[in-house]
Structure 1
Amino acid sequence: MKEASRFEKMAARCWNLLNEGKPFTPIFVVGTMTIYHAADLLGGHASAWLLGLVAALPLFFIYYVYDYPLFLRNYLWIPYVVFLIIWSFADAVLLFLAAALYFFFTVFFWGTLYYHLRIGTSWWNFTRFWKLVLKNSDSTSGNAQEQLPKCFLLLSVWEYAYVQAGQGAPLVPLYGSLVLFAAGVWLFSWVLHRYLFDWKPDVIPTYTDNVPVPAVPVNDKVYVIVIDGMRKDRFEAANAPFLKRLRAHGTEFAQMETVYPARTVVCFTSMFTGTYPFEHGIRSNMVWKLGAKVETIFDSLRKIGKTGRLLGIAHLVDSFGDDVETVTAVMPNDLADRYIIERAKRIVEEQTPDLLVVQLIATDQTGHSRGVLYDEYIEKIEEADALIAEFVGWLEERGELDRATLIICADHGQADGIGGHGHLDEGERYVPFFMCGPAIEPGKRVDEKTSLVSLAPTIAYLLGAPYPNHSRGPVLVEAMRKEKSNDETEAGHRFFAGA
């Protein structure tokens, strides 16, 4: 399997400018206005266009700051209706152009051409994707119910100011009235987010201190397999016998909560630093400044002469740099996880890392391209189950699991629509998470709420490494096996082969 090339890494960052909702909104609006007024701009008459842009800038800023997650997006039409009432202005042709361009981009360019070229989705994918875009609730550009009212208001304010400036209207009263309107939109947004946006996970206020790192490592190895985007209830519906046997013979954390926003690079960074976006600095898949601001579990391992590797897609380089073994995401989706598992075997053979994290991507990609409430999504979970069974069996044959812990989890779930994740809609918040191995309590279920920020300190505890310097998650000590007899320990060693 090829590594992600330098071009692919740069292309992934560029794509996130269009994929992430915050940068998409201004890019799309500016692009639409450029197309709509192309003749004026080419003819050298850009002054009114620029004056209109200046009038709309306060609203651009407000809509960059405020996402309007989940049901809050229903309130986005209120500022637009207020604008229509006050100024009685609407350019129907401009709004129609914007809607046409938006659905062309999301349904045909993204949902059909992009996914066909990247992962081999059918040329007919648009017949389903339009429904997914209308239902999607996540923080990407594919959230039609959030993006359309934002773009309509921005375009209307810009076009209104453009027309007025072109007619020679006095600029001071024009700008004054629009600034007052923008101030009202800001106050409206602040009130909504202050009093209605109340579903973010609680932040753990202190750093990891619930148990000291043991003087002697509990394990020689830790293997973490992250099935990207595996929704918890769809995992339960899948025929995944191997993973469910592993869960039954290990410790399951039934209320494992992801972080906000539940985007892949954000979640992975929190999982392997032990802290939250406000501290590690990765707030979306669009990473403006590369590298986590705090120590990662890989930094902690280096302090004691141990090694860790993360096998994953190009996006993760933005947070973890050289600790990532990249895989290309440009391949048929039916082959992606198979190639990743084969690459994982080579890493074990050639590098023998003390910690290996493997990101399986096919489930997430199917959710995004085909939706999570269809059979294709469950089939990808079932394929992951078979591949993990093969990989674990291969590790067992090599003796790699004699003193090892295996952790299976997802980084986030997925909501309806285009496999939405980000705002913690239904299906996103809680993820499958279980641990097994000779050091782990068998047949145990923990029902108390826990957080994925506990993964990094738990790995550090198992391998005898210091906790990352900003780790806040408590070590998952509930999973740790108490002292056992030699016979019981040997039974734990034999478990993986039996599973």
Structure 2
Amino acid sequence: MKSASKFEKMAARCWNLLNEGKPFTPIFVFGTMILFHAAMLGSANVVMDLLLAFIYVIPLLIIYFIFDFPLFLRNYLWIPFMVYLIIWNDINISLLLFSIGLYFFFTVFFWGTLYYHLRIGTSWLNFTRFWKLVLKNSDSTSGNAQEQLPKFLLILSIWEMIFQAERANEAINFVALILFYAFILVFAYILHRYLFDWKPKVYETLSKDQGTQPGEAISDKVIVIVVDGMRKERFYEADTPFLDSLKENGTEYMNMETVYPARTVVCFSSMFTGTYPFEHGMTSNMVWKLGIKVESIFDSLRKVGKKGRLLGIAHLVDSMGDDVETVTAVMHKDKADPNIMERAKKIMKEQDPDLFVVQMIGTDQVGHSQGVLYDEYLQKIHEADVLIEDFVSWLKKEGKMENTTLFICADHGQADGIGGHGHLDEGERFVPFIVHGPHIEKGKKIEEKHSLVSLAPTLSYLLGAPFPSHSRGRVLLDAIRKKEEE
């Protein structure tokens, strides 16, 4: 299987400018105005007026970049637009209809049909389902129609109003505009201060100060298989006989919580540093500065002469750097996971790492392209089960499972819509989490709430390595058998 090329890594970063909601809004607004007024741009005066008018909407773009308006808060985005209509009552219907059409062309046809057909082989008719997914979507991406529509309609209306005033040499009521922006800022602050209260609780204490310290290694090896985007309740509905057997003969965490925002780069960074975005620096899939700011479990292993590897897609290089072996994500959705697991065997055979993390992407791809409430999503979970069983059987034949602990989990779930994840809508927050191995309790169900940040310190504990520098997770001791019980 091919690694992700330099071009693919760069393309993935560029795509995130359009995929992540915050950078998308200003890019889309600017592009829409340029296209709408393209016939007039031959005049230098028109271009100057358009750019000068743009300056006046920058404060609004900044407000919308700072505040998330997650989940039901997006409904309140229509209030500033309605206030604008009451005060100014100045809209260009043609511009707004053009922007709406352009938005749905981008999301439904370019993204949901062309992009997914070329990247993972979905049907040319995928738009017949994708438009419904976009309308239901609630995540932090540009595909969240209920968030993006009121944002860009307001920004375009103000920009167009000022642009036309500039061209007609009419006076602009700057005081009214400043007061309007102040209203939106205060409005957004109050909403987020008092209604945005569902983020997971943060562990305040560092792992090293919690009374448990790594000692002698318990496991020779640890394998972590992350089924990207596997929604917990859909996992329970799927046909997964092998993973069910791991649950019966291992420990299952029934309330394992992901981090906020629940984006892949954020979640992986938290899982393998043991801490949160405010410390490791990864706050979305759009990475402005490469590399995590703190130690990872891979750094900890190097301190004791051990090796860890992460096999995943190009996005993860942005945070974990050289500890990642990349796989290309430009592959038919039915071939991606089989090829990843073949590559995993090759790495285990040739490099034999002490810690090996594998990211399976098929389930996430289908959730995003075709939705999580359909049979295709359950089928991908079943296929993951078959591939994991084959991989574990191969490890046994190679003699690599004798004193190995196996983790099976997801980095986040997926909500309705385009398999959305980010704002912790229903289906995102709690993820499957199974631990299996010779030193792991058998048939145990842990009901207590835990966080995915506990994975890194638990790996340190099992492999006899120091905790990563900023790790705050709790070692999952309730899954580990005491020595006298073995």
Q: What range is the shorter-chain TM-score in?
A: over 0.9
- Tell me the secondary structure at the aligned position of residue 422 of structure 2: coil
Q: Is structure 2 residue 463 aligned with structure 1 residue 463?
A: yes
Aligned residue in 2 for 1:389: 389
Partners in 2 of 1:250 and 1:282 — Cα distance?
32
C-alpha offsets along residues 142-181 of structure 1, whole Å, 9 cap, x if unaligned? 000000000000000101111111111234xx22221211
Aligned residue in 2 for 1:141: 142
List aligned pairs for 1:55-94, cutoff 5 A: 55-94=56-95
Compute the displacement of 1:47 (Å): 2.2
Unmatched segments (≥5 aa) in structure 1: 490-499
Q: Contact 1:273 / 1:471 at 8 angstroms: preserved in 2?
A: yes
Aligned residue in 1 for 2:345: 345
Q: Contact 1:255 / 1:450 at 8 angstroms: preserved in 2?
A: yes
Partners in 2 of 1:257 and 1:105 — Cα distance?
33
- Tell me the secondary structure at the aligned position of residue 334 of structure 1: coil
List aligned pairs for 1:71-470, cutoff 5 A: 71-171=72-172, 174-208=173-207, 209-470=209-470
**Alignment-mate amino acid for residue 225 of structure 2:** I
C-alpha offsets along residues 394-427 of structure 1, whole Å, 9 cap, x if unaligned? 1111111111100000000000000000000000
Partners in 2 of 1:138 and 1:462 — Cα distance?
35
Point out the more displaced range, 396-405 or 320-329: 396-405
**Alignment-mate amino acid for residue 191 of structure 1:** I
Compute the displacement of 1:42 (Å): 2.2
Q: Contact 2:369 / 2:418 at 8 angstroms: preserved in 1?
A: yes
**Alignment-mate amino acid for residue 131 of structure 2:** W
- Tell me the secondary structure at the aligned position of residue 319 of structure 1: helix
Compute the displacement of 1:215 (Å): 2.7
Partners in 1 of 2:439 and 2:478 — Cα distance?
11
Partners in 2 of 1:480 and 1:213 — Cα distance?
14
Partners in 1 of 2:214 and 2:239 — Cα distance?
38
Partners in 2 of 1:100 and 1:178 — Cα distance?
28
Q: Identity over aligned residues, as a percent? A: 67
Point out the more displaced range, 300-309 or 49-58: 49-58
**Alignment-mate amino acid for residue 124 of structure 1:** L
**Count of aligned pairs between the two proteins:** 484
Q: Contact 1:213 / 1:465 at 8 angstroms: preserved in 2?
A: no
Give the TM-score of the pair, scaled to structure 1: 0.96
Q: Contact 1:275 / 1:470 at 8 angstroms: preserved in 2?
A: yes
**Alignment-mate amino acid for residue 63 of structure 1:** Y
Partners in 2 of 1:43 and 1:51 — Cα distance?
14
C-alpha offsets along residues 59-99 of structure 1, whole Å, 9 cap, x if unaligned? 00001111210000010100000000000111100000000
Q: List, as ranges, runs of 4+ consecutive aligned residues in structure 1 with deviation greater than 6 Å.
A: none
Partners in 2 of 1:177 and 1:33 — Cα distance?
23
- Tell me the secondary structure at the aligned position of residue 124 of structure 1: coil
- Tell me the secondary structure at the aligned position of residue 76 of structure 2: helix
Q: Contact 2:212 / 2:475 at 8 angstroms: preserved in 1?
A: no
**Alignment-mate amino acid for residue 128 of structure 1:** R
- The two structures, once aligned, show a CA RMSD in angstroms of 0.9
Compute the displacement of 1:222 (Å): 0.3
Aligned residue in 2 for 1:2: 2
Q: Contact 2:257 / 2:451 at 8 angstroms: preserved in 1?
A: yes
Q: Contact 1:413 / 1:430 at 8 angstroms: preserved in 2?
A: yes
Partners in 1 of 2:123 and 2:214 — Cα distance?
52
Partners in 2 of 1:219 and 1:53 — Cα distance?
59
Point out the more displaced range, 160-169 or 274-283: 160-169
Compute the displacement of 1:484 (Å): 4.8
Q: Contact 2:273 / 2:456 at 8 angstroms: preserved in 1?
A: yes
Partners in 1 of 2:468 and 2:316 — Cα distance?
18
Partners in 2 of 1:404 and 1:226 — Cα distance?
16
Compute the displacement of 1:54 (Å): 1.1
Compute the displacement of 1:207 (Å): 0.4
Partners in 2 of 1:225 and 1:175 — Cα distance?
56
**Alignment-mate amino acid for residue 186 of structure 1:** L
**Alignment-mate amino acid for residue 144 of structure 1:** A
**Alignment-mate amino acid for residue 274 of structure 1:** G
Aligned residue in 2 for 1:20: 20
Partners in 2 of 1:384 and 1:473 — Cα distance?
28
Give the TM-score of the pair, scaled to structure 2: 0.99
Compute the displacement of 1:213 (Å): 3.0
Q: Contact 1:309 / 1:355 at 8 angstroms: preserved in 2?
A: yes
